[in-house]
Structure 1
Amino acid sequence: MSELRFEDVTVRYGRHTAVDGVSLTVPDGAVIGLVGESGSGKSTLARAAVGLAPLAGGRITLDGAPIPTRGRRPLQMVFQDPYSSLDPRMTVGATIAEAMPRGADRKAGVAHLLEQVHLDPSTARSLPSRLSGGQRQRVALARALAADPQVIIADEITSALDVSVQGAVLNLVRELQGLSMLFISHNLAVVRYVASHVAVMRNGRLVEHGPTAQVLAEPEHDYTRELLAAVPGRRSKP
């Protein structure tokens, strides 16, 4: 079981409340979409889960227990910018191997992970500077998978990519069956493609949450309707 739970989580930066009493569950094996405009607090919530933003209130648990801060990290995060998330001095193989548990057959493991993200194993010898944005983001996913996580948090992982390669990364996310994931995006069309449930965040609070098909077909909150109206090619209901 790998259930990530946010319980009344609050994060503050000085007097500014970035996340305000958010409760959300990422069930075992599910992909949950978290959407909202820039500044809505969704990335802050993600950073809080992996210990990069301190809590002012509430708690975050994995299978009912506090998330370990030392040793193996059961949560792994994939960041938005594929160009800054990889060490430019390390080869792809070294980057992935570094995240693998001790005692693992690293050479074979790296090759397997690269194949899993649809990259040739020979990519292991390359430096990030030789890769495209889409390839780098797939390496970042491979690195996250190398740590054998219970949950992956994907923070806007397609927003910095060309439209032509976004689909390949989204297809890869859909292939990761059985892995719990919090998939963060400002794009409802993207979330519709990968997530079974969606939570909508505005000004640090959740304003709507439910099965993706239901929320996107019959949104209850005005803000959700505004986000849907902004999706290209979609007509809002009167």
Structure 2
Amino acid sequence: MSELRFEDVTIKYGIGRSAMTAVEDVNLTVPEGSVVGVVGESGSGKSTLARAAVGLVPLSAGRITVAGRPVPHRGPRPLQMVFQDPYSSLDPRMTLGESIAEIMPSGMSRRDRAAEVSRLMKLVHLDPERAGSYPARLSGGQRQRVAIARALAGRPRVLIADEITSSLDVLIQGAILNLIRELQAELGLSMLFISHNLAVVRYVAARVAVMRDGHLVEEGPTAEVLGDPRDEYTRELLAAIPRPVHFTP
């Protein structure tokens, strides 16, 4: 089982009267083997929610579970995260192979680690011969592929992707999104996909949740929410999507 659940999750920064509420009373489920997108403007709380799931932000109230069990703070974790910036998510002093192998479970032999690095690099469509290269020699899209392989090296039941295409150009964005769809179908991963781009979420997610000012304002099947939104804020987000301009000769 790999169902991810947020139950009455509240996250505050600071203490006392000066505390700022970033997320308040959020209830959200990522069903096993499915992709749920979370959209909203900057400051809506979507990335804070993702970081809380992997233990980077403490909860003020509520709980987060995978397969009905609270996410552990130590030891092997059932969730792994791919971050937004491919240029800062990899240690420049480590080779690609070292970065990927670092996340693997303990107890594996050196030969097994090398074989697993090769398998994961092939899985994200990178040449395993480049395992000895350093991140500085890669493009942004290639680095993001390494970051995805690195997350998969932890053998997660749930993958969290936080704005993973926003730092890439349009052509590379499409390639990474196709890779995400391919991996999700092949591995059966449960995935929380964070983005401010509704078109991207429409492409990868079966369900979508809309956040505003730390609150979940709408959630449901992607086609329904984006096709016939109930909340005014969702309609505003849809209206803000650029439309193609056609010129008459």
Q: Give TM-score, length-normalised by structure 2.
A: 0.92
| C-alpha contact 1:155 1:185 (8 A) present in aligned 2 | yes
1:87 matches 2:103: no
Which letter maps to 2:116?
G
Q: Which runs of 5+ in 2 are unaligned?
A: none
Structure 1's unaligned 5+ residue stretches are: none
Q: Report sequence identity in percent.
A: 73
Give a deviation string over 1:153-173, Cα, whole Å, max 9, x none: 100000011111000100011
- In the other structure, the counterpart of 2:217 is 207
Deviates more, 1:114-123 or 1:185-194: 114-123
Q: Map 1:100-111 to 2 at 5 A.
A: 100-104=104-108, 105-111=112-118
Match in the other structure for 1:188: 198
Q: Conserved in 2, the CA contact under 8 Å of 1:34 and 1:183?
A: yes
- Of 30, 51, 54, the residue aligned with 1:50 is 54
The answer to whether 1:69 aligns with 2:79 is: no
Tell me whether 1:137 sits opposite 2:147 in the alignment. Answer: no
Relative to 1, partners in 2 of residues 1:191 and 1:234: Cα closer, same or farther, differing over 3 Å? farther
Q: Distance in 1 between matches of 2:227 and 2:8?
A: 28
- Equivalences for residues 1-238 of structure 1 within 5 A: 1-14=1-14, 15-104=19-108, 105-176=112-183, 177=185, 178-233=188-243
TM-score normalised over the length of structure 1: 0.97
CA distance in 1, matches of 2:28, 2:52: 13
Q: Which runs of at least 4 in structure 1 moved beyond 6 Å after TM superposition? A: none
1:149 aligned counterpart, secondary structure: coil
Match of 2:93, SS state, is coil
Q: In 2, distance between residues paired with 1:99 and 1:16?
A: 33
Kept in 2: contact 1:91–1:126 (CA 8 A): yes
* Deviations 1:54-95 (CA, angstroms, capped at 9, x unpaired): 111111111111111111111101100000000000000000
Question: Does the 8 Å contact 1:26/1:180 carry over to 2?
Answer: yes
Partner SS, residue 140 of structure 1: helix
Of stretches 2-11 and 58-67 in structure 1, the one that deviates more from structure 2 is: 58-67
Deviation at 1:234, TM superposition (A): 7.3
Distance in 2 (CA, whole Å) between partners of 1:68 and 1:16 is 26
What do residues 80-138 of structure 1 show as CA deviations (whole Å, max 9, x unaligned)? 00000000000000000111123441111111101100111112111000000000001
Q: Contact conserved, 1:228 with 1:234, CA < 8 A, in 2?
A: no
Q: Encode CA deviations 1:10-63: one digit per residue, 9 max, x unaligned.
A: 000122100010000011101000000000000111111111111111111111
Tell me the number of residue pairs that the alignment of Structure 1 and Structure 2 aligns: 235
**Structure ID, larger Rg:** 2
* Cα distance change of structure 1 residues 209 and 120 upon mapping to structure 2, 3 Å threshold: same
Q: After superposition, what is the alpha-carbon deviation per residue over 1:165-220, rounded to whole angstroms, capped at 9, x for unaligned? A: 00010001101221000000000000000000000000000000000011111011
Question: How far apart in 1 are the matches of 2:104 and 2:74?
Answer: 15
Q: Which SS does the other structure have where 1:10 is aligned?
A: strand
> What is the distance in 2 between the residues matched to 1:95 and 1:31?
26
